Amino acid sequence: MNLADKKCEPCEGKTRAFTKEEALSYLQKIEDWQLTADAKGIWREYTTKNFMAAVDLINKIADVAEAENHHPDIHLTGYRKLRIDLSTHAIGGLSENDFIVAAKINGLPVELKK
């Protein structure tokens, strides 16, 4: 099943964090995301067309996060550079939920800098 078609499951510490090998395996299923050095998170950056395009993307990501009840850290710098960080805080590492949300974010329309 495509990750974007899945739904996040509540984990609240009921599951263990992925090993680095598991994280790398899931990372192959989503484009443009990177594994953090400690293998406890994934991240992606966008350089949007302008400030309003960045804010629009943030709002779309917020809708996905609320629908999945799994929330990324979002950083906007330089008025159009956006970084999204995903990790499952309840378990101190990565879970399938992070990759589901990442796949859904990848499906969002975004106006990028040309």
How confident is the model at residue 93, as a pLDDT? 96
Q: ∠ at Cα 63 (57, 69), nearest 5°?
A: 130
Query: Is residue 9 situated within a structural domain?
Result: no
82, β-bridge pairs: 46, 76
Query: Is residue 112 situated within a structural domain?
Result: no
Q: Are strands 42-47 and 81-86 parallel, antiparallel or unpaired?
A: antiparallel
How confident is the model at residue 12, as a pLDDT? 72
Contact in structure between 103 and 42 (CB atoms under 8 Å): no
Residue listed under structure tokens 């594994």: 35
How confident is the model at residue 13, as a pLDDT? 64
The domain that contains 41 carries what CATH number? 3.30.1360.20
Query: Is residue 94 situated within a structural domain?
Result: yes
Q: How do residues 22-39 score in pLDDT, each as one tens digit?
A: 999 999 999 999 999 999
Residue type, 90: A
The residue among 10 and 50 whose pLDDT is bigger is 50
CA distance 20 to 59: 31
Query: Is residue 75 situated within a structural domain?
Result: yes
Q: How do residues 47-105 score in pLDDT, each as one tens digit?
A: 999 999 999 999 999 999 999 999 999 999 999 999 999 999 989 999 999 999 999 99
| Number of separate domains in the chain | 1
Which tokens is 62 given? Answer: 């917020």
